[in-house]
Chains A and B, each alone.
Chain A
Amino acid sequence: MSKSMTLRIVSQAVVIAILFGSHTSAIAHAFLDNATPKVGSVVTAPPKIIRIQLTQRVEVAFSHIHLFTAGGQEIAMGPAATDPSDQTVLSAPVTGTLAAGQYEVRWDVLSVDTHRTNGHFPFSYQP
């Protein structure tokens, strides 16, 4: 193999490595990263606020958090707001009263790249 051909193959490999080398930068759309109360956790005090951290900044005007009982009854929540210092954090106050039992948090958000995502997770309240 000639020197120039070796050079060409090496330079192409470098370009391909740069192009396709695996990396772990931010995800484009907003997915759930972590939440308070924690996903699937058991809490002993009723949460006053539901807080979710997403993998992308979200538009608060089109982002919501809802709370439901295991029977599907919706618990009253205040309007969602983003953390002023971190637009990936969305939280909403729980204004309704929680009895002991299983709950499901349902969230739907609009990321700043104008795509909608949604999800849900459970937690239990056992005083």
Chain B
Amino acid sequence: MEILLVSLRFVQYMAVMILFGSSLFPYYALARNGNSRGCNTDIAAFVQRVAFYASLAALLSAVGWLGCEAVLMSGDANGYREGATIWTVLSDTEFGGIWRWRLLLLLLLPIFLGWRLLRHRKPLVWPILASGILLVASLAGVGHGAMGIGFSVWAHLGNQAVHLLAAGVWVGGLLSLFHTIRYTRDAALGVEIQRHALERFSLVGFVAVMLIFVSGLLNSWFLVGSFDALLHTTYGQVLMVKVTFFLFMVALAVFNRLFLMPRLASASDSEVPLRLLLRSVAAEQIFAILVVASVSLLGTLPPAMDRMVM
């Protein structure tokens, strides 16, 4: 059951981060002038297509997650198919209070997006972005984010929401960045659009990394508590693995910014740095997936602080 829950958590985290980060990307990374209008429309269409599949994945994993919680909370292996248990989880727990409206939003979003795709409507990004913000931030209230008593509940919730949103900007944004670089590869103004998108993504990514770093430190203070707990508990060890993957992402981002971008601007033939850049962004995406996988596991483990007490 725990393995299933970790997998469902992974799908949920990835899907909503992609919803949020990929739909935010066009707002800061694309130029608003006429020359890049074709590209902007294409990215919006890409975001809408990705959001449709991501919202379906988020809906299915949210339903599965609810079933797992019904089993784990009730201690009954058949809890996932007992209406009364599911209803008690949804109506009488803090998890259920958040999950009820998340499920409603996740039900409406793919219907709305599917209808727009079928009718070939002009891509609309802002409803995806608004839903993405709500879906990512609300994950803060589920699991360890809900711990605490009094003021510390709100402090921890707020910090966790910032951590998840900042991670979503980066993880989801990478996907849109990858598509932008690929799409504009052969375009007349390709290098200009790529350079602009990369510069803006670098800037926004830098702010996101700083927020991830600071909120991550605070989270560790809440959930780990001591250097000893970091080293000698499963939670602490998985956290160190996660931080290592995160540092690989940062290293690749720095490599892109300081080494590949200047080459892209100066080289007469941009094909070589562009290919390298695509590979580097793809590698960054792989590390992002590994970071999210670690997060999915961390949520099911007892926080390091608990183990040191027990």
A interface residue numbers (CB < 8 A to B): 15, 18-23, 25-29, 31, 56-57, 59-62, 88, 108, 110-116
Contacts and interface: CB of A to CB of B under 8 A. Distances in A.
Contacts of A115: 302
B225 A25 contact: yes
B217 A112 contact: no
B148 interface: yes
B146 A31 contact: no
Contacts of A114: 69, 72-73, 93, 95, 142-143, 146
B94 A59 contact: yes
A62 B91 CA distance: 12
Interface string B64-75: 000001001111
Most buried by B among A21, A23, A28, A111: A28
Given A19-B220, A20-B227, A28 B72 contact: no
19 contacts: A20-B220, A20-B230, A23-B226, A26-B149, A28-B144, A29-B303, A31-B306, A31-B309, A31-B310, A59-B94, A61-B89, A112-B147, A114-B69, A114-B72, A114-B73, A114-B95, A114-B146, A115-B302, A116-B75
Contacts of A112: 93-95, 146-147
A15 B309 CA distance: 24
A67 B22 CA distance: 54
Interface in B112-152: 142-149, 152
The 5 closest A-B pairs by CB, nearest first: A61-B92, A20-B227, A28-B303, A28-B147, A22-B226
For chain B, give the interface size range. 35 or more
A27 B309 contact: yes
A19 B309 CA distance: 19
Contact of B147 (A18, A20, A23, A111): A111
Contacts of B145: 113
Nearest to A115: B302
Most buried by B among A21, A22, A60: A22
A30 to B, nearest CB: 10
A115 B305 CA distance: 15
Given A25-B152, A27-B305, A59-B92, A18 B144 contact: no
A110 B73 contact: yes
Contacts of B72: 114, 116
Contacts of B305: 27-28
Contact of A15 (B75, B146, B217, B303): B217
Nearest to B303: A28
Contacts of A26: 147-149, 152
A31 B75 CA distance: 18
Contacts of B149: 26, 56-57, 88
A54 to B, nearest CB: 10
